[in-house]
Structure 1
Amino acid sequence: MAWSSYQKLLALVMLVTGSFNTLSVKYADMQEVVGQDGSIRKFNHPFMQSAFMFIGEMLCLLIFLGDGTVDSHSLTKGSRNFNPLVLLIPACCDLISTSTMYVGLSMTQASSFQMLRGSVIVFTGILSVGFLERKLGGREWTGISLVIVGLLFVGVSDLTTTDKDSPGLNSVVTGDLLIICAQVVTAVQIVVEEKFVSGLEIPPLQAVGWEGVFGFIGIILLMIPLNYIHAGPPFGDNSQGTIEASLDALVQIENSGRLFMAVIGITVSIAFFNYVGLSVTQQMSSTTRMVLDHV
């Protein structure tokens, strides 16, 4: 079935914003800025980055509530008769997967991160068969097999291009494994959204907004103990030596215009990316969304 002009636009926006988000996160990771203790170090705050991502998602809810043409506008058209708690499970999955992926991204390369995220296609396909009762033909299984082969090449490439005597090798391998593990959780999120959310005809702008609210509350609660749990590098590479140091992150953002712009890029791009992603799930399917996500 041929795609409509609207579906093609969704696909294009998803490609651009997804790539821009990955580059913004990695660019922030690379910035060396004065922290709370006066020392210069890289911006190593994956959980704060997740918080900014959820702020971006919450902006979608503000736009939805501020739109005066609810019944006619394509961004806000849909049913409002639903319990927002139905979005709690996808939001929790988003919280876990995003935080894990951002930790992994801080330990490996942006190119490897984006390609390893392609493993979600495999997990989404398998879960779609089990929970959505979708039948995959030979073409789909062939595609999944090729994705697996491609992932093996990416993993081998990381091993062969990193100095085996360098302590950074363990960091790269750990980062790659964290990214792949996060894709299992992402696949659960996508399948749950298609099974329970798409059928309710919830406006995508509202759905993303509520997921942002639940996710932001969750990440704030999570960061409270993380600000007191001490850890060695790379996790504790901040002014406090803890897994997360929220004040240190805010000080670094204040001290660097480039870092501030990267954070703005993370916030804005993820809002558009998640909106069009959920729209693709509603308009087409979760599998299509995952393929577009990794083009």
Structure 2
Amino acid sequence: MAWTKYQLFLAGLMLTTGSLNTLSAKWADMFSAPGCSGTPKHAFSHPFVQAVGMFLGELSCLVVFHILLCHDRRKPEPTMVPGQSFNPLLFLPPALCDMLGTSIMYVALNMTSASSFQMLRGAVIIFTGLLSVAFLGRRLQPSQWIGILFTILGLVVVGLADFMSGHRNDSHKLSEVITGDLLIIMAQIIVAVQMVLEEKFVYKHNVHPLKAVGTEGFFGFFILSLLLIPMFYIHVGSFADNPRQVLEDALDAFCQIGHKPLILLALLGNTVSIAFFNFAGISVTKEISATTRMVLDSLRTVVIWVVSLALGWEVFHGLQILGFIILLLGTALYNGLHTPLMAKLPCCPGGQRAEEEEAPERERLLGGGKAANES
């Protein structure tokens, strides 16, 4: 079945904005500018400020939801289903996980390459699978266990590629690269907890996906914005890459933006892209399929890697290709992307079963909106 122009647009929008999200965050990290009170020129290293910008992008989805709802209600026959009323505090625990996981990942992005950052995020499959078995009582299929094993192998290969390239990378020390990679994997444990919490407490409510994303963005934006105040006074020594050596110096970030306005462009790119990426991802699941969404989410890793190489942000290493292929196989096996292909083979009749298996996944993604996307 051929895709319509609108479906092609949605797929392209998801791939483009998903790639821009990581690339714009990395671009901001690569700037250097003077800080406040004549502080000499130094790198823009403000992961928590960047995380606030990302949550602002998610919060904008709530604004878009209400605009679309108002527009729909003016029609003679409204078609938009706003969903049932719910207690917004249901979204507080997953929002806290999102806040912590995202902040850790932005810290890690300062230490490693954009492509490795995106590849290593595939580790979420391992922890989501294990936690869903432990706390949701889910039984994983043999192919899903094999997918987890492939993912572990792919992570080892990508980590090895980073270890080898770290010796000839001038922008990051080897110790920073290894620390960054470990932080990314650690963050995926928190993201997996977030997904399990969403599935256990949120998906059973009929919440519109834009409203779900926006509500989590609301909690994340306001809580993290308030936390920037105590972070300004918490000294962490050499761990922090800012002149005052505090956990986060938001004033220094604003001063650097004033000296180098291009940093603001990078931050706005991150904020706007996450908003459109969430919208596009939800729409792809609704208009095409959950499987297509997962494929596009994997393809953006290739886009990020190619653009990073073209811009000279990182050095080519053949092991990264091997690691990505193994991770892609792991993702395909875990998410059942192989089932529709097998169903087309004469020896593997099961097309109807494959469609039946995808239906719950489509409903799950449309019901919560956050499980298969994000930055």
Q: Which residue of 2 aligns with 1:15?
A: 15
Counterpart residue number, 1:25: 25
**Distance between the aligned counterparts of 1:219 and 1:262, measured in 2?**
20
Aligned to 2:44: 43
Runs of 5+ consecutive residues of structure 2 not aligned to the other structure:
300-375
Find the partner of 1:131 among 132, 135, 139: 135
One-letter identity of the residue aligned with 2:178: V
Cα distance in structure 2, aligned partners of 1:221 and 1:7:
40
What is the TM-score with the length of structure 2 in the denominator? 0.69
Inter-partner Cα distance in structure 2 for 1:292 and 1:191: 23
What is the match of residue 145 of structure 1? 149
Q: TM-score, normalised by structure 1?
A: 0.86
**Based on CA coordinates, which of the two structures has the bigger radius of gyration?**
2
Which one of 83, 89, 114 corresponds to residue 85 of structure 1? 89
Q: Measured at CA, do residues 95 and 73 of structure 1 come closer, stay the same or move farther in structure 2, by a change above 3 Å?
A: farther
* Alignment partner of 1:194 is 2:199: yes
1:174-226 Cα deviation digits (max 9, x unpaired): 11111001001111212222333222121111111111110012212322221
Q: Give the Cα–Cα distance (whole angstroms) in 1 for the partners of residues 187 and 3 of structure 2.
A: 32
- The aligned counterpart of 2:109 is 105
Task: Return the offset for 1:34.
Answer: 2.1
Match of 2:235 in 1: 230
**Is residue 59 of structure 2 the alignment partner of residue 58 of structure 1?**
yes
Q: Per-residue CA shift, 1:82-104, capped at 9, x if unaligned? A: 11111111111110100000001
CA RMSD of aligned residues (A): 3.0
Q: Matched residue of 2:33: which SS?
A: strand
Question: Residue 84 of structure 2 contacts residue 205 of structure 2 at CA under 8 Å; is this kept in 1?
Answer: no
Q: Given that residues 54 and 270 in structure 2 are in contact (C-alpha distance below 8 angstroms), is that contact kept between their aligned partners in structure 1?
A: yes
Question: Per the alignment, do residues 215 and 165 of structure 1 end up closer, same or farther by CA in structure 2, a change over 3 Å counting?
Answer: closer
Q: Which deviates more from structure 2 when the two are superposed, residues 55-64 or residues 163-172?
A: 163-172
Instruction: Tell me how far apart the structure 2 counterparts of residues 149 and 4 of structure 1 sit (CA, whole Å).
Output: 35
Measured in 2, the distance between the counterparts of 1:282 and 1:128 equals 24
Identity %: 50
1:177 matched to 2:182: yes
Deviations 1:240-283 (A, max 9, x none): 22121101101112222321110111101111223445667889
Q: Tell me, in whole angstroms, the C-alpha distance in 2 between the residues paired with 1:122 and 1:292.
A: 20
Structure 1 outlier segments of 4+, above 6 Å: 2-9, 164-167, 279-285, 287-291
Which of the pair has the greater relative contact order for Cα pairs under 8 Å at 6+ separation? 1
The verdict on how the C-alpha distance between 1:123 and 1:281 changes in structure 2, with shifts beyond 3 A counting, is farther
How many aligned positions are there?
291
Instruction: Give 5+ residue unaligned stretches, structure 1.
Output: none
